[in-house]
């Protein structure tokens, strides 16, 4: 699997990124006999270890961990792999087909050449290719709001991508800003460790872990919810901006219920709005955020009920959720010193950074414009993006299907010269 980048070489295809998406594309290209390299700025699957906290577990059950030619084969299909297990699983995948990966090579520029194809400039040389698959995902730069620059210097601030464990933060109370997947799970991690936790809630929805005898993800999968193309969703392409529902796979999987946490002592606030000296201000939106999250969860249950009735499935009845806590009043201000807050975890998302891709295929917000990965620039494809084609596009199982589609498009676009060539890849050695 060890490969070298040969300066000046030409390939049929270059894949940028050796995570699960890039490796899935490589599997198909390898089977099709396509001369290609996968360029990885770090090591294979490194994001799984470098940007997840110590107690991280998948939210999706293990049976959904399916990549091309590589289904989950462990002994706990209904369980949830932990961070290090996922990292090892992805790395093993690369070894199953001797993926032509060059690690620790940074792509600094991608541009169209005067003729057909692309020039790929790296910190270890320049190569050209007929086609390129960008498989670097969509979460590149951690977002920190301007307010972070005004935080008191004695308060430690980290982004959720840099959070590792409760013990890695200084003693004292912790403020988590954001309640999406990462924020909710990090708040849980801190709270279970006995930390005094404050959370500024956002508008993320939630989903029950289990309902009527099964994991909700299993119900939704059977219902085909993850397979509906983005253009068929309400709101169309704007669906790509939606936030995932929060739940957890920790300890075998369970709901994340902020109301239950609040009843046990977690402090909940609405949207963080301002900071003056050591005093934070919040919008009075905490109760509305909780109600919204619950309403989405219950609407999913209603859809499941209808599916069960329509299909005549024998499933146990289950009572619906009843809120276990409501704020008596909305707290809209908080003095950091008085509350003993010594650290802040910003779980407010990421922004994409394709500044190295110097091809005109982006919208005004810097997002690639594409149809199921194919851009308006012939030969340039994207893979591994959330909502690339369906809601499931961010999950292993659907990444595998997206990779098959993109790779098939690549193979179908091969020129007669490259398709008929039987030469050994000039760009591979070792």
Cβ-based neighbour number of residue 308 at 10 Å: 20
User: CB count, 10 Å around CB of 321?
Assistant: 15
How far, in whole angstroms, is CA 407 from its chain's centroid? 21
| Residue 90 near residue 104 (C-beta atoms within 8 A) | no
**The pLDDT of residue 231:** 67
Please tell me the distance from the alpha carbon of residue 354 to that of residue 367, in angstroms, as a whole number: 8
d(Cα 2, Cα 424) in Å, to the nearest integer?
Answer: 16
| Residue 426: per-residue pLDDT | 34
pTM, two decimal places: 0.92
How far is the C-alpha of 333 from the C-alpha of 192, rounded, in Å? 25
The contacts of residue 383 (CB under 8 Å, 6+ apart) are 21, 22, 24, 25, 133, 134, 135, 373, 399, 402, 403, 406
Question: What angle do the packed helices 83-96 and 20-31 form, to 10 degrees?
Answer: 20
What is residue 2's predicted lDDT score, i.e. its pLDDT? Answer: 52
Predicted local confidence at residue 227, as pLDDT: 85
In this prediction, residue 423 carries a pLDDT of 41
* Contact present, 398 and 390 (Cβ < 8 Å): yes
Find how far residue 71's CA is from the centre of its chain: 20
Could you give all domains of the chain from N- to C-terminal order, each with its CATH number? 10-140+352-420 (3.50.50.60), 143-346 (3.50.50.60)
Tell the residue number behind the tokens 């109301």, with chain if given: 259
CA distances from 26 to 303, 344, 356, 415, 429 (A): 37, 40, 22, 19, 17
- Those residues of the chain that have pLDDT short of 70 are 1-2, 231-243, 416-430
Report whether 58 contacts 16 (CB < 8 A). Answer: no
């Amino acid at each position: 699997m060890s490969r070298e980048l040969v300066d000046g070489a030409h390939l049929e295809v270059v894949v940028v990124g050796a995570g699960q998406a890039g490796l899935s594309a490589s599997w198909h290209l390898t089977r099709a006999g396509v001369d290609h390299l996968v360029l990885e700025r770090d090591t294979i699957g490194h994001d799984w270890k470098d940007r997840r906290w110590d107690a991280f577990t998948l939210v999706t059950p293990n049976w959904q961990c399916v990549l091309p030619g590589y289904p989950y084969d462990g002994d706990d299909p209904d369980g949830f792999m932990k961070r290090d297990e996922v990292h090892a699983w992805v790395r093993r995948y690369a070894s199953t087909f001797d993926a032509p990966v060059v690690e620790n090579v940074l792509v600094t520029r991608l541009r169209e050449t005067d003729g057909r194809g692309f020039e790929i400039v790296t910190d270890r040389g320049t190569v050209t290719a007929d086609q390129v698959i960008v498989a670097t995902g969509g979460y590149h730069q951690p977002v920190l709001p301007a307010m972070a620059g005004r935080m008191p210097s004695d308060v430690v601030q980290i982004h959720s991508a840099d959070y590792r464990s409760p013990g890695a933060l200084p003693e004292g109370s912790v403020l988590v800003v954001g309640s999406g997947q990462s924020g909710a799970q990090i708040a849980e991690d801190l709270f279970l460790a006995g930390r005094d936790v404050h959370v500024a809630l956002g508008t993320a929805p939630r989903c029950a872990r289990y309902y009527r005898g099964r994991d909700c993800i299993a119900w939704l999968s059977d219902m085909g919810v993850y397979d509906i193309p983005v253009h068929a969703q309400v709101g169309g392409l704007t669906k790509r901006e939606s936030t995932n529902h929060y739940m957890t796979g920790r300890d075998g999987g369970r709901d994340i219920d902020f109301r239950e946490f609040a009843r046990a002592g977690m402090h909940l606030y609405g949207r963080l709005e301002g900071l003056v000296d050591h005093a934070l201000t919040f919008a009075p939106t905490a109760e509305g955020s909780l109600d919204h999250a619950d309403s989405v969860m219950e609407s999913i249950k209603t859809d499941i009920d209808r599916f069960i009735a329509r299909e005549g499935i024998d499933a146990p009845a289950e009572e619906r959720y009843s809120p276990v806590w409501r704020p008596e009043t909305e707290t809209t201000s908080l003095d950091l010193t008085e509350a003993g807050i010594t650290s802040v975890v910003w779980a407010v998302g990421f922004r994409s950074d394709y500044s190295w891709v110097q091809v005109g295929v982006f919208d005004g917000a810097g997002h690639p414009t594409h149809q199921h990965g194919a851009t308006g620039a012939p030969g340039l494809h994207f893979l591994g993006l959330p909502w690339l084609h369906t809601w499931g596009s961010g999950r292993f199982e659907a990444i595998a299907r997206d990779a098959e589609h993109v790779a098939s498009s690549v193979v179908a676009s091969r020129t007669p010269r490259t398709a008929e060539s039987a030469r050994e890849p000039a760009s591979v050695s070792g």
